[in-house]
Amino acid sequence: MGILSLLLLTPAVGILVLAVTPHHKTNHIRVIANYFAIFAFLISCYLVAIYDQQFSGLQFEQQFTLNAKLGTVIALGIDGLSLPMLVLATLLTSIALLASFSITDKIKGYYISILLLEFGMLGVFLSQDWTLFYIFWEVTLAPLFFLIGRWGGVRRHVASLNFVLYTMGGSIFMLISLLAISQYMPVHGGTLMSSMSIAAQSMPKDEQVWVLIGFLIGFGVKMPIFPLHGWLPLAHVEAPSPVSILLSGILLKMGAYGLIRAVVMLPEAAQTLQPVLVFLALFGMIYGGLLAWRQTDLKAMVAYSSVSHMGIVLLGIATLNITGLTAAVLQMTAHGLIAGAMFLLVGLLYERTHTRNILDYSSLVQVMPRFALFMTITLFAAMGLPGTVGFVAELHTFIGGFQEWGFLMVFLGISILIGAAYAMRTIGMLFTGPVKPQMRNIEDLRINELIAAGVLVFAIVLFGIWPAPLIDLSMATITQMNDIINLRIQ
């Protein structure tokens, strides 16, 4: 068994073990789920250690032929684009499970759903076959539907239904685009990503544009980009906080990851749609930031800020240059860490106070100093303060965008200022003023919560001060992608 198969099957084996564990043994269930999640994270860290950063192609490839006549295979592999997402997925799954001790109802089903979600996410990033990619993409829907619908808030049923309908609607457009490309494949040629990229070159340009629009809708729903973001705020507000960590930290990145693959496969169409992409990115950044600024619900604020930050990812992709693509990958990682930390901390605060209304708080720094420290650093990272990973990603986006569009990047600057405004407002309202009577006896972060929040905040600061390892991990693959784009659009 190869290491990628081992990584993919780890949560699947965890599901089987949990399935035969008696439902009343809650401590055993928690320990088993955490064990398999941590084991998957350690495997992904080992992959980083043995990954050849100088090689731009796929590494640790595995192929299992299912039907040679039909060309159906299970193809796995990683490169500099998928590896950071794998590490992020396994890390945030472990963090989410550490933050799940507040879940006391139907625990067995909850932990099985989390591991099934991890299995689907890992499959998306490991797949090197579009059919396999699509299957794993759809696998993530079922656990999320139940996680939101059974363990969510008051409007959980509406939120889970909205999420599934939006995502399934987008998946239809993605499937149509894949079928359109498959028409140019040889008979029984399979659906390997490498083969379909070659087949896409023989498509007429107008067909390529329509195919990329289909991908943009399909992946744009999951990112989400304006105006396909309607499901996001309600899903985030109603989902349990550990699920919000995965939803914002990883699920949104699946959309961005797929869109990068599609743009590299159809660069001529991407160049044609470049004005549309940059408009959607800039408008989405400002629109999401303004909506985040006016929220009083902390979870809704973080949800709308995700629309703004994923707009930065779309802007990086739209540049079609090496700096912008680097910025997109950096922002995907940065937002995963920042949004994960923010949803974790907001969820822990809600467990103690049973309110997410920012107007109900003040001067928490006096009663929750550890929480105040971590939340302040995370909000600083969200606004792109130097010394945090958010700054590194936004700087690369600004440079890549300026190379392509010049002073149009003033709108990116406005978006960053709006982000700073709602971040500073949140810090002021949470941690300044007199201590309210109902907030005097709130417990600060416990040991397991300190570990979970500390890991994320440490990564946010570490990669802000020393971003070279993060950049070097993806640079060879991004350079290859940039070369492919330049070769096709010249």
- What is the model's pLDDT at position 361? 85
What CA–CA distance (Å, rounded) separates 89 from 7?
12
Asked whether 223 and 310 are in contact (CB, 8 A), the reply is yes
More confident call, 489 vs 482: 482
- Read off the pTM: 0.93
User: pLDDT (tens digit, 9 = 90+) per residue, 466-479?
Assistant: 999 999 999 999 99
User: With 90 as the cut, is the pLDDT of residue 102 above it?
Assistant: no
User: pLDDT (tens digit, 9 = 90+) per residue, 265-311?
Assistant: 998 999 999 999 999 999 999 999 999 888 888 888 888 888 899 99
- What is the model's pLDDT at position 70? 58
Q: Treating both helix axes as pointing N-terminal to C-terminal, what angle do 322-353 and 389-405 enclose, rounded to 10 degrees?
A: 140
User: With 90 as the cut, is the pLDDT of residue 101 above it?
Assistant: no
Q: How far apart are the first and last CA of the chain?
A: 43
Per-residue DSSP letter, 61: E
- What is the model's pLDDT at position 96? 92
User: Which residues have CB under 8 Å from 146's CB, separation 6+?
Assistant: 109, 113, 160
What CA–CA distance (Å, rounded) separates 321 from 486?
8
- How confident is the model over 75-88, as a mean pLDDT? 92
When pLDDT is cut at 50, 70 and 90, the band that residue 69 belongs to is low
User: pLDDT (tens digit, 9 = 90+) per residue, 340-365?
Assistant: 999 999 988 888 888 888 888 888 88
- How confident is the model over 102-126, as a mean pLDDT? 91
Asked whether 295 and 301 are in contact (CB, 8 A), the reply is yes
- Percent of the chain at pLDDT exceeding 70: 97
User: pLDDT (tens digit, 9 = 90+) per residue, 15-59?
Assistant: 999 999 988 888 889 999 999 999 999 999 999 999 999 888 888
- What is the model's pLDDT at position 397? 92
User: pLDDT (tens digit, 9 = 90+) per residue, 192-218?
Assistant: 878 888 888 888 888 999 999 999 999
451-458: list long-range contacts, CB under 8 Å, 24+ apart: 451/98, 452/95, 452/98, 452/99, 452/344, 453/341, 453/344, 453/345, 453/348, 453/374, 454/374, 455/91, 455/95, 456/95, 456/337, 456/340, 456/341, 456/344, 456/378, 457/341, 457/374, 457/377, 457/378
* Single-letter amino acid, residue 173: F
What CA–CA distance (Å, rounded) separates 392 from 470?
10
* Single-letter amino acid, residue 160: S
Asked whether 422 and 61 are in contact (CB, 8 A), the reply is no
Give whole-number Cα distances, 411 to 236, 283, 303, in Å.
27, 9, 21
Per-residue DSSP letter, 436: P
